[in-house]
Structure 1
């Protein structure tokens, strides 16, 4: 064994010891709040990836999509194939710049949040995805205090994934995991329209 191979082996042994110790310390098991935010692409995609992972484990899932809803998406078409495992609700009014009607958006948000509250009170639902919730919070269509209260009272083993730009600080503070997506380049900026399987 040459010296470089020996050095690499020692580094990996030290790294393994650190990782093993961290895994051994992580003994708590409970439901998590995960926030996916930032201006980059991938927030909803990541959230739906966790929905697929949970589905693969045979868990029951609730999906509530705020804002998006005027056009069909691949994820909705796919996950609606599993009606016994996935409860799927879409707000249906589309983006705020399309409706241009704040009262209509608030009413739609209220009706959609009622669906979300039912899922967040159901101990049989292992994971709830609240897609683009941060947008309705940003526009004050829904009060953050109401959201935080419902999250605090949810079943103790239930996971919640919340997506959307501009996550409020109060939500970040209560979350267990927060990821910020930062955009470097986006095809739309050079005139390429949304593509099936990528954005739709």
Structure 2
């Protein structure tokens, strides 16, 4: 038997085993998805899912908790081309080290959470992205136990909710269906390279 035949038989066995596993996975449900960790790509991956929803004409929404009014490619594209399919709410005023105003940051985060609950409760929205909410939770601008209870008890059964940001709280991890931790291996910022258009925003 040559290498090609061995490979074909090995892949046929692998496919049969995989098909058997896949046949047992039949449930559908709205997921609570968390992207956290120190590595780059948390929001980027989440927006990838939002764009998938848009491509399938599934209504969706984005609430940005920390990021301020700076123009970003994903926001400009959604507002310019897909606002009929995806609501976009930038509710923050910038990162906490820029604002330096805890009471104002708390007020803005609370307003963003109120908007997020409204969007999540609407069963028409198939996915709601809560971008950088983990930062707001980390600094106790919003109560993590309240967010966890809401997602567990009030989220419509088929609605996906994605939460991004470093240092996700245990309360959120405990109720999540899918958690991905982005690990930092190497980053150009450490070599003096600034955030660049098309990569970071």
Using the size of structure 1 for normalisation, the TM-score is 0.96
Moved over 4 A (4+): none
- 1:8 offset after TM fit, Å? 1.2
Distance 1:22 1:33 in 2: 23
Distance 2:60 2:34 in 1: 17
- 1:6 offset after TM fit, Å? 2.3
Distance 1:167 1:114 in 2: 20
- 1:23 offset after TM fit, Å? 1.3
Give the equivalent residue in structure 1 for 2:93.
93
| 8 Å contact kept, 1:120–1:150 | no
Give the equivalent residue in structure 1 for 2:78.
79
Using the size of structure 2 for normalisation, the TM-score is 0.96
Q: Choose 45-54 or 165-174, whichever is displaced more.
A: 165-174
Give the equivalent residue in structure 1 for 2:130.
130
- 1:142 offset after TM fit, Å? 0.5
What SS is found at the alignment partner of 1:80? helix
Give the equivalent residue in structure 1 for 2:178.
177
Structure 2 residues not aligned, in runs of 5+: none
- 1:117 offset after TM fit, Å? 0.6
Give the equivalent residue in structure 2 for 1:109.
109
Aligned residues: 199
2:32 matched to 1:66?
A: no
- 1:150 offset after TM fit, Å? 1.7
Structure 1 residues not aligned, in runs of 5+: none
| 8 Å contact kept, 1:39–1:165 | yes
